[in-house]
Amino acid sequence: MSIFHGMNTTASALTAQRLRMDVISSNMANVDTTRARQVNGEWEPYRRKSVTLTAQEGQFSKFLNVALGRNTKSAVGNGVKITRIAEDQETPFKLVYDPTHPDANADGYVNMPNVDPLKEMVDLMSATRSYEANVTVFNANKSMLTKALEIGK
Burial pattern 28-63, b for ≥16 Cβ within 10 A else e, equals eebeeebeeeeeeeeeebbbbbebebeeeeeeeeeb
Q: What is the pLDDT of residues 41-91, one digit of tens each?
A: 888 999 999 999 988 765 666 667 666 776 555 555 678 889 999 999 999
- Find, among 45, 49, 48, the residue nearest to 33 by Cα: 45
Domain ranges of the chain: 5-31+49-87+115-151
Q: pTM for this one? A: 0.80
> In this prediction, what percent of the chain has a pLDDT beyond 70?
88
